[in-house]
Structure 1
Amino acid sequence: MTGGGDLSWALGLGIALFALIASIGAVTKPNEGDRVTRQARQWGLNHPWKFALMPAGMAAVLDYPVQLVFDDAHWLGGLFDAGWHGLLVYVIAGILTTTLKGRALTR
């Protein structure tokens, strides 16, 4: 397909934002929900960098086919681009979850 990097960039950004919003939404209210949900949220707040691996992996896995199809990238180039996008999601989600940990402890 043609269209260049604009469409793949927009889709990649959408995937990254979806992963970030979902990850932060998962840990914002640690004292609400049933017992299992509260425990999962507390674990995410207590281990922010381990918790950030899931949205980062999700973003990288979902972004890889986008890079292949819409960016006309070679499989190795698509893997590299998707890996960088996943790394950015990992760093941002880890920092935001660490920040939310301090906020949750003060409430």
Structure 2
Amino acid sequence: SHARIRRIVLSAYLGITNDLPNLPPYLRILGMTSCGAEILHKAKPMLPIIARPTDVKKLSPEARRVFELEVRADNLYSLCTEHRRPANMDYTEKLIRI
């Protein structure tokens, strides 16, 4: 079907393969309130946390590969929206604090 062809083409473009981890290799924080910051400060997560673009450098090679796939998908999505954004904003955008 047409949907299946779209998924195959998108997977090929993004480089998605069967060897990706089944579970997320990191936690990504996009924004938070002061209460959320307090909870995050007290938390002892089992996965690395990405809250700033520089945190990506601390990831394992496997986790960094997943992050790079996420960046490619985000770049493609931004091309398809009415208000286009610059590419690679995942590496430059700061955490949103409310």
TM superposition score normalised by structure 2: 0.28
**Which has a greater percent of strand?**
2
* Bigger share in helix: 1
So what's the TM-score if we normalise by structure 1? 0.27
